[in-house]
Chains A and B, each alone.
Chain A
Amino acid sequence: MSSLFDKENVDIAWCPGCGNFGILKLIREVLEELEVDKKTCVIVSGIGQAAKTPYYIDVNMFGVLHGRALPVATAVKLGNPNLCVVAEGGDGDMYGEGGNHFIHTIRRNVDIVHIVHNNMVYGLTKGQASPTSQKGFVTKVQVGGVVNEPFNPLAVALSLKAGFVSRVNIGDPLHAKEVLKAAFRHHGYALVDILQPCPTFNSTNTHHWFKENSYVLDDTYESSDFHGALQKAFEFSPMPLGIIYQDKSIRDIFERSIRGEDAKPLHAMTHDVSKIQDLFNRY
């Protein structure tokens, strides 16, 4: 089925059965259903199989370096706070190479949606461990199995007081759509960690495995309770799915704090030359 955000004449570079197909469809549908204006929406992505997603969506995009989508997205938003900005990439891109930016983007509370495809393995470099790979996972590099503790994005985000922290499984697209929509509606930084299988390089964490090892948080779960959320973030088997934490109160948002509430896009502004002259004359 074709949608408003389908892109023509593209050669999709993913393996058959890849979880990315589901995520691509999900994002296209969410953008369409939320009636996002494609001209004022920008998706910034890093490098990796996941980061190729925006190449297949008919929207503004900036394909940058491995790990660097977040600082770029931050400044895109700062330059024009009226844009709808999304940063997208995989677990290696966002949690490994870009780990430092992950921390500081959360601290800034930039009003962007941060989508991370999490398949617990490196795809484009062909099968090495990712920061989220489970202990004991054997690869060509981690020949005796992964010994490092897996990175816990939800707990890290929470410890930095992220205002919206969520995890979904692309195996449950209806639930995923509901959560992603909430992330777009959230004012401030919103993390959506999407579990997805890699049929080529990860035979441990399969579709079936994700289904068996996760559960959807029901209506009784209080997502505004920070301490409860912190506890949930550390649950592993099974992993909770849904909005783990959301702070709906009004918080300072990075670009608004720096640029002011009704900041115009910077490309539409020039300095008052007489002001520069006055400032110079003071010396």
Chain B
Amino acid sequence: MTIDELKRYNGQNGARAYIAYKSVVYDVTNSPFWKNGDHVGEHTAGVDLTSALSNAPHGDEVFKEFAVVGKLEGSEQISLVTQTPKTQEHQNDSHELFKSKLKTWYKKYHPHPAAVHFPIALHLFAAGMDILFLITLNEAYNAGVFYSFFIATVMGLVAMVPGILSWWINYNFSMQRAFVVKLIVASITLLLGVVAIYIYYENPHVAYEHSFQGILYHAIVLVTGLNVIILGYYGGKITWGYGRYQTLTEDSKKVLNITKHESAVSHHSASQSISILIGGAAGTGIATLEKILSGAFKKNGFYIFSTKEYMSRVRGGSNTTLIRISDAPIEAPCWKVDICIALDSLALEHMQERWHENTIVFADEAFSEKKTNMILVAMKDSAKKFGNAKYANTYIAGVLFGALRLDKSSLLENIAEHFKDDDVNRDVAESGYEEGMKLENITLPKLPKSDLEGVKKLHLMDGTTASGFGFLAGGCNMVTAYPMSPSTGVLNFMADMSKHLSIAVEQSEDEIASLNMVLGGWYSGARAMTTTSGGGFALMGEALSLSGMTETPAVIYLAQRPGPATGLPTRSEQGDLNMALYSGHGSFPRIVLAPGSLRECIDYGYLAFEMADKYQSPVIILSDQYLADSISMIEKVEFSSYEQRSYIVQSTEGYVRYEDTKNGISPRTVPGFGKGLICAVGDEHDERGQITEDYKMREKMVAKRARKNDELTAEAIAPEISGDGDIAIIGWGSTRGAICESLEYLNNPRLSHVHFAWVHPLGKEQLKSLERFKYRIVVENNADGAFANQLKLYDVKIDNQILQSNGFSFFVDQLSIMIEKSVKELS
């Protein structure tokens, strides 16, 4: 049975109800829990529920009761889910194994929900009886109150233990509001319970007395009744989720403290790394080679970073991919390389300037002569023996692994994963490996120390993918965009994700339509975004302004490339900051974020949607070709920690869209949700949304929009500062990894790294930490020093600037020299 066939068995209109779990299809038609194909209002029949089960209050034991009716075809992806590296990891980790065993046990018996109803019922019973007692003063009630209260308190303790267990195994001691409230209220209830029992034990007649003890006793009995209602309410919220109808409460005004996450790349240095540069024409498979090698290196326990530079063409030219392997996390490229692999003569020439005196070069004997440090391999000829010169890339991967004496199976496994039905590639790689083993009398760089355990816990992905996951965490469910390098990756990613999640994706006719569609989407309740690069964003200026005036949220992923005009379409630059800050006519609040690591891509992708929704303003996420296309490693991310809040309120009759509130944020609703009507307009308007030219109203609305800016400036995230030195090396966005590693390399205690991921708006509060520095040097991947100029506007003194706008991002070795020189100029 295929997934499409399965869809027909949805249990509706007399159809049978089938569901799939781990590739097996079960018939649930007769189950009372699956009437008409509906399961507790959460799931429908006719679908694969493998991934949904982890969230269910029961385990997979429930499937035992159902008849198996077939196997689900084409479910490789699903079987992958069940064999994620996560489970493999856990087997090596006794702590995690214990936890996962506990989890299974918990799912089977769910002790907390089983126990928790007793104290709830009994506390309520006691409170009810006490009210009756207070009315009637009947001793039978009084005794009933005490005994039920006593048992309720004991059972409360019994329920708390599995509750805390569940908090640990299922929610990793999450500090979300519901858990904190439950913990506090439950502890208070228990404490009060002990106090009341003690009072009664000391004097059983206390219930009749008007003394302090008497009043306290009754108060406790009644208050604990209220407490258990609160406990039950939050228990329900934890089990069934918050839903999107949550209104804006004081608590949800706080931004999630996303700075608490540590990036995989922190300031601890790599003592040994090797850099490998592979060059070839577009279409010769260097992208494939990058994937296969990085995956195989990861299996060998190395930390990986890889990046590519390519020409704006589909075939031909000369492109390179750089792979760095290391014994500690790294997130930056280097210019000079240790190993160089040329797939053709053009590449050989193109890469020459990146060799240092000991670089080992692999080239094909067909186009190169033997030189010192050069290893000639018959790549093409050997590949042709297998039927096609195209196999040259796989062949050289084998040679490299052989020469480095690395584990062959890891490479073959990755090749098998990559070329699913093509066994020839495997044979080619094996043959290359044998050839590599034969290479002697060459001094290849020393391999970094392998850290199998550490690396296994990490995920390998590029900035595009991480950004995409950030937007998913932020609840993005509509993407309207026009393709443009280097932003297209996110559009592709979200379209691919729409196969698994409910995301409406549309390729617009132009970028003008893209952002206008985003606004239409938010108007009717979507969390919409667009993806673009500089040229496309230039076309969005007017709609950006409309977002500001109509106070309609918008999220724009702007992946920069060098301009002006078409510029260098496939290369990198941080050249669009000014445009992000100033595009759009008129003045209105906006937020500009610039993540600099995979972790920040996720955090700030999430934050973009929260901020847009909360402040009803446009949010621009600045990425660039370098960040989008570079692959590095990220620790496991717990997506349950990104709370998707809804800022949409249910409207009442007489609702006005632009209510003049204290903080400038007017409650936002969507058509059909409540009794009100929404008039959102791009003309200046009154509170109703009616066009006005009254100057007093204009002043009022200008002030209202400005107040939103004050409010969100207060929430701005201060820069991340590493080091205690008195010289600040200041960067923003994608320069994070390169500056970080350069400072490690320079090892000068006077240098500190200041990294801004929240770029705009900033306030005095966020910039206070810059006051302590004697010198401030700003590093930017552009020619105009736009960020330094921003800092100057905030009265931050800038002593020196390091700028680069040649189409490359910063290389660690070059940047180190630039920083050293810049520091020397100052002191």
Cβ–Cβ contact A80 & B244, under 8 A: no
* Neighbouring B residues of A282 by C-beta, 8 Å: 80-81, 84
Inter-chain contacts of B689 with A (CB < 8 A) = 61
**A268 with B244: in contact, given A65-B546, A75-B526, A258-B506 (CB under 8 Å)?**
yes
User: With a CB–CB cut-off of 8 A, which chain B residues contact A40?
Assistant: 671-672
- Chain B's closest residue to A44 (CB) is B520
CA distance A31 to B772 in the complex (A): 66
Give chain A interface residues in 27-81, CB to chain B under 8 Å: 38-42, 44, 47, 52, 55, 58-65, 68, 71-80
* Given known A-B contacts A64-B519, A280-B637, A274 and B508 have beta carbons under 8 A apart: no
Assess whether A63 is in contact with B680, with CB atoms less than 8 Å apart: yes
Q: How far is the CA of A41 from the CA of B508 in the complex (A)?
A: 24
CB <8 Å contact, A79 and B478? yes
How far apart are the CA atoms of A256 and B81 in the complex, in Å? 30
How long is the Cα–Cα vector from A60 to B642 in the complex, in angstroms? 33
A65 to chain B, nearest CB (A): 5
Given A65-B543, A283-B459, A76 contacting B473 (CB threshold 8 A): no
CB contacts (< 8 Å) of B86 on chain A: these are 281
A281–B469 Cα distance when bound, in Å, is 11
A83 on the B face (CB < 8 A): yes
Across the interface, name the chain B residue whose C-beta is closest to A41.
Answer: B671
State whether A79 touches B683 (Cβ < 8 A): no
| Residue in B85, B500, B501, B520 whose beta carbon sits within 8 Å of that of A62 in the complex | B520
Binary A-proximity of B57-90 (CB < 8 A = 1, otherwise 0): 0000000000000000000000011001110000
B138 CB within 8 Å of chain A: no
* A271 & B477 in contact (Cβ 8 Å cutoff): yes
Majority DSSP secondary structure for residues of B touching A = mixed
In the bound complex, how far is the Cα of B546 from the Cα of A62, in angstroms?
Answer: 11
B788 is an interface residue with CB less than 8 A from chain A: no
Segment among A98-106, A138-146, A150-158, A226-234 that sits at the interface with chain B: A98-106
Chain A positions within 8 Å of B478 at CB level? 75, 78-79, 266
Residues in A with CB closer than 8 Å to B673 are: 265, 267
* Residues 263-283 of chain A, each 1 if its beta carbon lies under 8 Å from chain B, else 0: 001111111111111111111
| Contact of B526 (CB < 8 Å), options: A266, A270, A276, A280 | A266
B52-A281 in contact (CB<8A): no
If A42-B524, A267-B244, A272-B55 touch, does A78 touch B504 (CB 8 Å cutoff)?
yes
8 Å CB contact of B459 from A82, A272, A280: A280
Known: A270-B244, A276-B639. A78 touches B459 (CB 8 A): no
Taken together as a complex, chains A and B put the C-alpha atoms of A157 and B472 apart, in Å, by 37
Using Cβ atoms and an 8 Å threshold, which residues of chain A touch B672? 39-40, 80, 82-83, 265
Given A63-B683, A268-B244, does the pair A277, B523 have CB atoms closer than 8 Å?
A: no
A277-B52 Cα distance, complex, nearest whole Å: 11
- Whether, in the assembled complex, A10 has its beta carbon less than 8 Å from a beta carbon of chain B, the answer is yes
- The answer, among A38, A71, A274, for a CB contact under 8 Å with B513, is A71
* A267 close to B243 (CB less than 8 A): no
A266 touches B501 (CB 8 A): no
- Report how far A167 CA is from B529 CA in the complex, Å: 36
Residues of A within 8 A of B525 (CB): 79-80, 265-268
State the CA gap A276–B680 with chains docked (Å): 33
Distance of A48 Cα from B412 Cα, bound (Å) = 66
A107 to B525 CA separation, bound complex (whole angstroms) = 24
- A75 with B524: CB separation less than 8 A: yes
A211 interface residue per 8 A CB criterion:
no
Whether, in the assembled complex, B91 has its beta carbon less than 8 Å from a beta carbon of chain A, the answer is: no
Is A259 engaged at the interface, CB distance under 8 Å to the other chain? yes
Residues in B with CB closer than 8 Å to A100 are 509-510, 512-513
A196 CB to closest chain B CB (Å) equals 21
Q: CA of A270 to CA of B645 in the docked complex: distance in angstroms?
A: 10
* Cross-chain contact A101 with B509 (CB below 8 angstroms): yes
Q: How many A-B residue pairs have CB under 8 A?
A: 230
Partner pick for B682 among A63, A268, A278, CB 8 A cutoff: A63
B751 at the interface (CB under 8 A from A): no
A61 to B521, CA, bound (A): 14
CB of B675 closer than 8 Å to a CB of A: yes
Question: Least Cβ distance of A93 to chain B in Å?
Answer: 13
In the bound complex, CA of A278 to CA of B510 (Å): 34
Is the Cβ of B671 less than 8 Å from the Cβ of A276? Answer: no
Does B691 have its Cβ within 8 Å of any Cβ on chain A?
Answer: yes
- B526 partner residues in chain A, CB cutoff 8 A: 75, 78-79, 266-267
Q: How far is the CA of A78 from the CA of B670 in the complex (A)?
A: 13
Option from B245, B516, B674 in Cβ contact (under 8 Å) with A65: B516
**Interface 1/0s, chain B 239-271, versus A by CB < 8 A?**
001011100000000000000000000000000
Q: Are A104 and B51 in contact (CB under 8 A)?
A: no
Residues of B contacting A280 in the complex (Cβ-Cβ under 8 angstroms): 459, 469, 637, 639
In the assembled complex, the Cα of A278 lies from the Cα of B53 at a distance in Å of 11
The CA-CA distance from A274 to B241 in the complex, in Å, is: 12
A residues near B472, Cβ cutoff 8 Å: 271, 276, 279
Main secondary structure of the interface of A (DSSP, over half): helix
Report the minimum CB–CB distance from B34 to chain A (whole Å): 19
The B504-561 residues at the A interface (CB cut-off 8 A) are 504-506, 508-510, 512-513, 516-528, 542-543, 546, 550
Q: Does B220 contact A (CB under 8 A)?
A: no
Q: Which residue of A lies closest to B522 (CB)?
A: A79
Min CB–CB distance B239 → chain A (angstroms): 14
A80 B670 Cβ-Cβ under 8 A: yes
Closest to B688 in A: A9
> Does A72 contact B509, Cβ atoms closer than 8 Å?
no
- Taking a contact as CB atoms under 8 Å apart, the answer to whether A269 and B244 are in contact is yes
Q: Are B497 and A279 in contact (CB under 8 A)?
A: yes
Chain B CB within 10 Å, residue with most, of A47, A73, A271: A271
Q: B644 interface residue, CB < 8 Å from A? A: yes
How far is the CB of A255 from the nearest CB of chain B, in Å?
8
B52→A75 contact, CB < 8 A: no
Contact between chains at B480 and A75 (CB < 8 Å): yes
The residues of B that contact A76 with a CB separation of less than 8 Å are 520-521, 523-524, 671
CB contacts (< 8 Å) of B671 on chain A: these are: 39-42, 60, 76, 80, 83
Q: Is B461 part of the contact surface with A, judged by Cβ < 8 Å?
A: yes
B502 at the A interface (CB under 8 A): yes
Contact at B51–A278, with CB atoms within 8 Å?
yes
With contact pairs A39-B671, A266-B478 given, residues A79 and B504 touching in the complex (Cβ less than 8 Å): yes
A271 touching B465 in the complex, CB below 8 Å, given contacts A40-B671, A65-B546, A276-B639: no
**How far is A134 from B300 in the complex, measured between Cα atoms in Å?**
75
Chain A, Cβ-Cβ closest to B638 = A277
In the docked arrangement, what's the CA distance between A112 and B62, Å? 46
CB neighbours (8 Å) of A47 from chain B are 682
Contact assessment for A276 and B85 in the assembled complex, using a CB-CB cutoff below 8 Å: no
Q: Could you tell me if B517 and A72 are in contact, using CB atoms closer than 8 angstroms?
A: yes
Once A59-B677, A60-B677, A80-B524 are accepted as A-B contacts, the answer to whether A75 and B517 lie under 8 Å apart by CB is yes
Tell me if B521 and A68 are in contact (CB < 8 A). Answer: no
Contact B518 A270 (CB under 8 A): no
Residues of B within 8 A of A259 (CB): 502, 504
Docked CA distance A83–B521 (Å): 12
Please give the distance in Å from B444's CB to the nearest CB on chain A.
30
Bound-complex Cα distance A174 to B403 (A): 86
User: Contact at A58–B51, with CB atoms within 8 Å?
Assistant: no
CB atoms of B517 and A275 under 8 A apart = no
Closest to A40 in B: B672
The interface residues of chain B lying within 8 Å CB-to-CB of A55 are 679, 681, 690-691
Give me the 5 closest cross-chain CB pairs, A-B, nearest first: A267-B525, A75-B520, A79-B524, A63-B681, A72-B520
14 residue pairs of the A-B complex, CB under 8 angstroms, read A39-B672, A41-B671, A61-B680, A63-B550, A63-B679, A63-B680, A72-B520, A78-B517, A80-B525, A80-B671, A100-B510, A277-B638, A282-B84, A283-B460
* Residues of B that sit less than 8 Å from A by CB: 51-52, 54-55, 80-81, 84-86, 241, 243-245, 459-461, 465, 469, 472-473, 475, 477-478, 480, 497, 500-502, 504-506, 508-510, 512-513, 516-528, 542-543, 546, 550, 636-640, 642, 644, 646, 648, 670-683, 689-691
Other A-B contacts than A265-B672, A277-B638, 7 sampled, CB-CB below 8 A, are A40-B672, A60-B678, A75-B523, A75-B526, A80-B670, A267-B524, A283-B465
